[in-house]
Amino acid sequence: MRHLLVFLGIAAFVALAFYVNSARHAERLPHHHQSPDAVRECAACREKERERTLGELRSVAYLEHYIERVINEGSRQNLGFAYGDMPAGMADAKAAPRIAAYVVTLAGLKPTHPEWVKEGHTFYVSNCGGCHGEDGRGVHGTFPDLTRVPMLGIERRIKAAMKR
């Protein structure tokens, strides 16, 4: 009788431990891994994620970030221009966000910081206009057109995101 009670006690403990453990796992799993519609729902999640990425890539904030990065790090993207690469540091890092604010206006877009445009214009003329032109339209085949929407480097990222 005592043995039976001990045995039942152990069995109850094991069952309880198993239950608690599986309940914890169930909490951690995302909902769609528990339903029979798993595959369809995951595809929908992926589509949503892609739409979000594409929206970001097409935003003015991303364009400003891209321009700033090109100024600071240069552009070695083989965009297909006779001049070749754009070297890094064509303007001071502090001027870069101001220049970016001005450059987006060349494409008719509204910058995140309109108050930077005037100063950005001055920097643009002395640091960028020599290659990309005062109007930003570049030189066909030699220097890229900065009024293009989307810019070539961003278009590549958009195409890559659409293939995902």
Nearest distance, CB of residue 117 and ligand HEC, angstroms: 13
- Cα separation, 73 vs 75, in Å, equals 7
Q: Output 34 or 122, the one with its CB closest to ligand HEC.
A: 122
Nearest distance, CB of residue 115 and ligand HEC, angstroms: 18
- Structure-block tokens of residue 60: 């003015």
Nearest distance, CB of residue 69 and ligand HEC, angstroms: 9
- Cα separation, 155 vs 132, in Å, equals 19
* Chain residues in the site for ligand HEC (CB under 6 A): 67, 70-71, 75-79, 81, 83, 85-86, 90-91, 99, 103, 127-128, 130-132, 143-144, 146, 148, 151-153
Which residues touch 93 (CB under 8 Å, ≥6 apart)?
71, 72
62 CB burial (10 A radius; 0-12, 13-18, 19+): middle
Q: Which segments of the chain are extended strands (E)?
A: none
Nearest distance, CB of residue 104 and ligand HEC, angstroms: 10
Contact assessment for residue 133 and residue 143, using Cβ atoms and an 8 Å cutoff = yes
Looking at beta carbons, which residue is closest to ligand HEC? 128
